A and B are shown apart, each in its own frame.
Chain A
Amino acid sequence: MDLVLQLLFTGIGIGAVYALVALGFVLIFRATNVVNFAQGEFSMVAAYLMVVFSVDLGWPYWLSFLLSLAGMALLGVIFNLGVYYPLRHRSFLPVIIATIGASILMANSVLAIYGPQPQVLQGWFDTPGIQLGPVYLDSQYLLIIAVTIALVIFNYWFFEHTMLGKKLQATSQDKEMASLLGISVSTMIMLTFIYSAVLGGLAGILVAPVLFVSIQMGSTIALKAFAATIIGGFGDVTGAIIGGLALGVIETFGAAYISVPYKDGFAFLVLILFLVFRPQGIFGERVAEKA
């Protein structure tokens, strides 16, 4: 039982990371109908920004945190203008490939600047964790879980109860209709990219103290987050969160009780099973039939 509880905590913790990144995917997908294959690199870049500000420059943690998120917002703008916007009238395929190109570009630019050695980033708290009975709770994972819950609530409030959120919703559902209502579609898409980059960055900064800051950190998480998105149902915010958490738990228990070396395979196996038997995901609607 102790074992199960410990695994459950870790699974939820790592799942919350997937969920955060998955959230960024879903937002962009809903707004633009494009899967952003560079989402994981957002997390990686943010973690490196954090290293630059708080470790290399020695600035206070909170300031570095805000600056890194601001940097991510800027990256979101650049990404939108450089990768998505010029291709917005083309089909999804060129856009997917361009985002793959962008992910290669980002990962290797950071590699060229920072070298391949992983970096250390301190966590928010000085205490590494607390022992709760038989279970050890890593403080950084606790923080990640808390932030995920807070974001779910924030997203609900933002998209359902603010004018900007509603405009974003309207844009993602029907661009033509939205523009007839006087909403600037390109501004809304720009905002979506900014928000999504910041979310991805937040995930990266939060997870960096646990996984260290490395070039590969983004791509490994992103692939899992993709899977989480599909398991939850593409285009559904709650689905992405549940999908991420479920995947983290499945993976951890799979590793403990089935096979450690194949740990990464479970995510993809579950994904393929879902695609074959329930492509709409847990929460998603039927893949739309359009005439």
Chain B
Amino acid sequence: MSAPSDNMPITVSAGRAKPLLLRHLPYFICAAVLVALAAGMQFDGYVLNILMQATTFSIAVFGLSVVLGLCGQINLAQAAFFGFGAYAVGIGTTDLHLNYWLCLVAGCVIALAAGAFLGMSTLRLGGHYLAMVTISFQQIVTLVMINDIALTHGPDGVSNIGRPALFQTSQGYLAFCVAMLAIVGYLVWHLPDTRLGRAMRAVRDNELAAGVNGIDVLRTKVYAFALCAALGGLAGGLFAGGFAYVSPDQFAFADSIVFLTMSLLGGVASPIGSAIGTGLLILIPEWLRFLKSVPGLYLAIYGLFVILIIRFMPDGIWGFVNAAFARWCAKAKAPAPSAALKLMPATVGGDIVLDVKGLSKYFGGLKAVDGVDIQVKRGGVHALIGPNGSGKTTTLNVLSGLYRATSGKILLDGTDITNMPPHQRTAAGLGRTFQNIRLFRSMTALENVEIGAERPGNTMIGEGGSAALTERALEALNFVGLGSRANELISSFSYGHQRLIEIARALAANPTLLLLDEPAAGLNSTEKLELHELLKRIAAQGLTILIIDHDMTLVSEAAQHITVLNFGRRIADGESMAVLRHPDVVSAYLGTE
């Protein structure tokens, strides 16, 4: 658990198979049985209310498992979104005499819109700010619910809320809710395997790496947030129909905390965990009534448990069970061998693939990069070198869009990418690796590379179906020699192999230009040899490489062309051997004496 990107780590079931209707038949049979039970069994009112509450709350908590578990963003206003749905159905069916279904949909849409708006305005700030904004939003919604009496009936709440004609009886309605739960649960369960789901996981594990691998980080977060809000709205709408009464104190900040705790207790990563957490947190208070004779004691214990769960069960109950189960199971089978990787870099432009003109990057008064020109020829290996602090990595970060250039121009294959965000540059054909490896740590090697393969504009994956993606990713992994370990988690690979996976991830995207940031850093001599071989094989397929490294042996053997930086300026540029003998270069590296 000491991984650097420890955003609510999850256990990933090794080797996610592609959705197969047959494989999932048991799920639907179970769901159908549950629905039938809900409709047919005789419950007394108390059990019915408990079940109704658990079912509807679970759907809202599913939303949190998307935003928190999948995407790693916090939402402390789920009760407000829940309230949107509940009030839409409440006010809609009573005051406005609208059809139940219309109100339910309207509630989801309102929650979705509110979530998307909130997300768009604040998600780029991330973390603490998001926590604060969602709390503020929650408070304002509560105030409006209480004070805007004309619309919401104020603190009296809305009573006599209608239900659809089809499900007038309580049991029928419960069965309907259980069916909705099953459907939503199925969708949330399979979300991680979709393109959007993978993007969310990538954002959660490492935003930067996600960005340079072609994922629009902000949009992914907004989608996750809006989806969470919409599920909250749906749950609220169902809840309002079930209890026929809503009032502001059911949708307060404290309830948002309860939703969050339900999600954490069960495990943020999966809908099963959410359902477990919700069920327990509705039932436990019922069982622990005896503790409640002292006011506060029960909630004090509740607070203590939140701390303990975070401390000892970071993945929740389900994550805990899953991890224990995984230890029993053997590793997944190695995937079948695939065809050889084909790299077909685009060749629209002229002889120069990357044309950098007068590039500068200032940090306040510090001129980290100052008026640098670089021309990278197509099909070659070009190296950018310089002593520590010479501005190499800053240049690379400006090139890949992590920093914005202070001035200057960057043309990739003739396209001006100077002002594009990272993911658009990736789409334009730029691939890169990092000096300190940035992989999505909770995913398998294959999933990491699949995200790379999914680059918009990748011509090597056909229609972009999941089979094609997997095929492409396997090819890339085989290319770096790790195909047989495709389904293992990143954490089980050595440092050198992780570097290879990172390169495979970039290659799978079939980039026009590959930026390698100190690929030899931290490798032992054998691994360096392997890396050298790999670079040769990549260059042989005609892919242009811009490499940044200290390692003179690697640079002098692999690169045909070298640019040297010092103090942010270009001091030499030209054919490898000539540049390395240039007096300025020698003095920059060895000192002038």
Contact = CB atoms under 8 A, between A and B. Distances in A.
Direct contact of A and B (CB under 8 A): yes
Nearest to B2: A89
A106 B164 CA distance: 44
Most buried by A among B137, B306, B307: B307
Given A94-B8, A105-B303, A105-B307, A111 B129 contact: no
Contact of B143 (A107, A215, A265): A265
Interface string A248-291: 00000000000001101101110110011001000000010101
Contacts of B403: 289, 291
A46 B143 CA distance: 29
Interface stretch (B33-41, B47-55, B119-127, B191-199): B119-127
B7 A98 contact: no
B29 interface: no
A178 B405 CA distance: 31
A44 interface: no
A171 B391 CA distance: 27
B302 interface: yes
B491 to A, nearest CB: 15
A279 B257 contact: no
B300 to A, nearest CB: 4
Interface of B: 1-2, 5-8, 68, 72, 74, 121-122, 125, 127-129, 131-133, 135-137, 139-140, 143, 146-147, 208, 257, 260, 264, 294-300, 302-307, 310-311, 314, 393, 397, 402-403
A261 B155 CA distance: 13
A96 B74 contact: yes
Contact of A108 (B121, B135, B146, B300): B300
B296 A230 contact: no
| Overall SS of chain B's interface | helix
Nearest to B298: A108
A197 B304 CA distance: 19
Which 5 A-B residue pairs are closest in the complex by CB-CB distance? A111-B296, A101-B306, A105-B303, A104-B303, A268-B136
Contact of B125 (A97, A215, A275): A275
Interface residues of A, number: 52
Contacts of B257: 100, 104
Contacts of B306: 97-98, 100-101, 104-105
A35 B134 CA distance: 14
Given A83-B307, A109-B300, A112-B296, A227 B8 contact: no
17 contacts: A89-B2, A91-B6, A94-B6, A96-B131, A97-B310, A104-B303, A108-B302, A112-B294, A113-B296, A223-B139, A226-B135, A227-B136, A261-B146, A262-B147, A265-B143, A275-B132, A289-B402
Contact of A112 (B297, B310, B314): B297
A97 B122 CA distance: 20
Given A93-B8, A110-B296, A276-B122, A102 B303 contact: yes
A269 B296 contact: no
A136 B125 CA distance: 43
A98 B310 CA distance: 6
A161 interface: no
B311 to A, nearest CB: 5
A53 to B, nearest CB: 21
Given A100-B257, A108-B296, A112-B295, A268 B140 contact: yes
Nearest to A90: B6
A29 B300 CA distance: 25
Nearest to A104: B303
Most buried by B among A94, A101, A265, A287: A101
A86 interface: yes
B121 A276 contact: yes
Contacts of A89: 1-2, 6
Interface of A: 29, 35, 82-83, 86-87, 89-94, 96-98, 100-113, 115-116, 215, 223, 226-227, 230, 234, 261-262, 264-265, 267-269, 271-272, 275-276, 279, 287, 289, 291
Contact of B133 (A82, A103, A113, A272): A272
Contacts of A82: 307
Contacts of A271: 132-133, 136
A27 to B, nearest CB: 15
A114 to B, nearest CB: 9
Contact of A223 (B128, B129, B135, B304): B135
Contacts of A91: 5-8
Contacts of A101: 303-307, 310
A272 B125 CA distance: 12
Contacts of B147: 261-262
Contacts of A215: 296
A92 B127 contact: yes
Given A89-B6, A268-B137, 6 more contacts: A35-B128, A86-B311, A272-B137, A275-B125, A279-B129, A291-B402
B399 to A, nearest CB: 12
A29 B257 CA distance: 22
A230 B132 contact: yes
Given A264-B143, A276-B121, A102 B307 contact: yes
A104 B72 CA distance: 23
Given A102-B303, A272-B137, A93 B74 contact: yes
Contacts of B8: 91, 93-94
Given A234-B128, A291-B397, A103 B297 contact: no
A237 B122 CA distance: 23
Nearest to B74: A93
A35 B133 CA distance: 13
Contacts of B146: 261
Nearest to A260: B147
B400 to A, nearest CB: 9
Given A89-B2, A91-B6, A98-B306, A275 B133 contact: yes
A239 to B, nearest CB: 14
